[in-house]
Chain A
């Protein structure tokens, strides 16, 4: 019986993965190609935030710092060296990781709501630095005309660039998936659920948190660098607080601690904003803010989380009642919900 269930779960996972890959490959046929690339990079960005929020229980409200720093770095590398876009994107990820070490070191000293406030403040610090350091960042004008080259191959068509960028996104997503499923990821979840016990078992909690923070920032940097190359420019918006808020919104909308959810959230938020912008609606925040309020008040599990919760309820009803072991993948925030 148990083996049967495990088998069916495995098939379900594989089917989901296959569906996801097919959608990812077909995306530029379904939506306007530059938007398709946007969805892919925001999905990776959202997963990087979920890695911290869903699996370590830390809400970073300042991930725009890493996304933006990587975007500027990739842009500068591409403009000044003309190196292949992959080099620029990787340089961006390295810059984001380097920046995450001091910020993470200071931020993991606080938890919960304090962590959110502190990361937000550090991102704002970076915003002011980017604004003042005009010689390098271009200040309010931003970085213009970021080239995208690959050994002479013409990538100017957004349709082809999508397929040039997609492997980087998929590698990033696979890395996140691997981290969550690794022994390291198990320790992170233990820290999330009971930091005191994890510490008592001898795990250096702060060092684990810092490493998770740096890994998350690296993935965010990968996404940010690709975003810069995709758009051909970098603006101050990339390091500004609404960017940090937008990515958190995607995670919560999709479902905290589900990895699939944030991808879905990115797809929906990018599409919604694109729709509102092209229909000429002035005041996107009214719609996205309202959607966010509704999700936080009524559907805290997010779309993915709510769906899988309903499926598991339905399964439990069909099976004779047996004590269900606590699902380790369930986010702690969602668990609080059940207590309330």
Chain B
């Protein structure tokens, strides 16, 4: 039955594609969720930071000949520092106010970053070569799949797993979770909550930078690559439940998977699916799949 096998292979391949694009959703949603949990800030500039990650890798390669592996290490560090500076300089000043102000602030930051890069490099996409070690493909018996995509999926799973482990099994994670849930009480227990705010923000931005570097060899590197993506990630986060770190990762992979299947069976729906899913979730569980109801105002 060659036809039946073809359909199965096709289906499995699409599932893989979905999980790979879900890897990006998950990394970005995880960063947003960690930042939101600790600071109550919805970072609009998350997409711009993802774009900076990809562009940074491209610039490092072209200007300094730095290869993919080093960029994968360097860019998240650089963006983490950038994030911490951003938090100290601006976000911090608005922390006590309505969270909408920081949302607006990060929107302004997005416009500036995006147009700065656009001014230097134009809007056409820049090529970024796949690292040679991952240029081949992996044989899964029924079908083979590009090695680079497998690497992206594995990295994303490992990073999400590591964050999960740190948050649930270590002292640092305990402090971060406690400050997320009950900042006043945590402070009363003698823990310096403020000390953790800046590093956590930097860490969230670093995750966006990591996703950006991972995207460089397989997606178009251009100044606008992050803007549309971050809005889709907002929808992902609403689906998962904004406060829930676990929920955002699961929703990230889930949305990626469903989007790929939509690509196979209902291509016109593929782009809009994430927003339609959000509408359904809002109708059925306004707080998100894994979120808790907001405290009554």
Chain A: residues with CB nearer than 8 A to chain B? 59, 61, 106-107, 109-114, 116-118, 120-122, 124-125, 128-129, 131-132, 195-196, 241-242, 245, 248-249, 252, 282-286, 288-290, 292-293, 296-297, 300, 332-333, 336-337, 339-340
Contact = CB atoms under 8 A, between A and B. Distances in A.
Nearest to A131: B271
Interface in B78-131: 90, 93-94, 96-101, 103-105, 107-112, 114-116, 118-119
Given A109-B286, A121-B234, A292 B119 contact: no
Nearest to A102: B279
A289 B104 CA distance: 10
A107 B42 CA distance: 17
B283 interface: yes
A122 B277 CA distance: 11
Contacts of A61: 103
Contacts of A337: 97
B297 A132 contact: no
Size range of the chain B interface in the assembly: 35 or more
Contact of A116 (B100, B108, B296): B100
B294 interface: yes
Given A195-B297, A284-B115, A336-B98, A128 B271 contact: yes
B94 A336 contact: no
Given A128-B272, A297-B94, A336-B98, A116 B115 contact: no
Given A106-B282, A248-B104, A286-B119, A121 B275 contact: yes
B282 A286 contact: no
A117 B238 CA distance: 8
23 contacts: A59-B103, A109-B282, A113-B103, A117-B234, A121-B234, A124-B235, A128-B275, A196-B296, A282-B119, A283-B115, A285-B115, A286-B115, A288-B111, A289-B112, A292-B107, A293-B108, A296-B108, A297-B94, A300-B101, A332-B98, A333-B98, A336-B98, A337-B97
A125 B98 contact: no
B110 A289 contact: yes
A6 B273 CA distance: 55
Nearest to A107: B282
Contact of B294 (A111, A117, A121): A111
B231 interface: yes
- Give the interface SS of chain A, mostly helix, strand, loop or mixed: helix
Contacts, number: 135
Interface of B: 40, 42, 90, 93-94, 96-101, 103-105, 107-112, 114-116, 118-119, 227-228, 231-232, 234-235, 237-238, 242, 268, 271-272, 275-276, 278-279, 282-283, 286, 294, 296-297
A120 B110 CA distance: 15
A111 B297 contact: yes
Contact of A114 (B104, B119, B242, B297): B242
Contacts of A131: 271
Contact of A293 (B103, B105, B232, B279): B105
A241 to B, nearest CB: 6
B103 A116 contact: yes
- Please list the 8 inter-chain residue pairs (A to B) with the smallest Cβ-Cβ separation, ordered nearest first: A289-B111, A285-B115, A125-B275, A285-B111, A289-B112, A292-B108, A283-B119, A293-B108
A285 B272 contact: no
Given A120-B234, A289-B111, A112 B97 contact: no
Nearest to B120: A283
B96 A340 contact: yes
A113 B39 CA distance: 13
A288 B112 CA distance: 8
Contacts of A122: 275, 279
A116 B238 CA distance: 11
Nearest to A289: B111
A337 B96 CA distance: 9
Contacts of B90: 293, 297
A311 B110 CA distance: 34
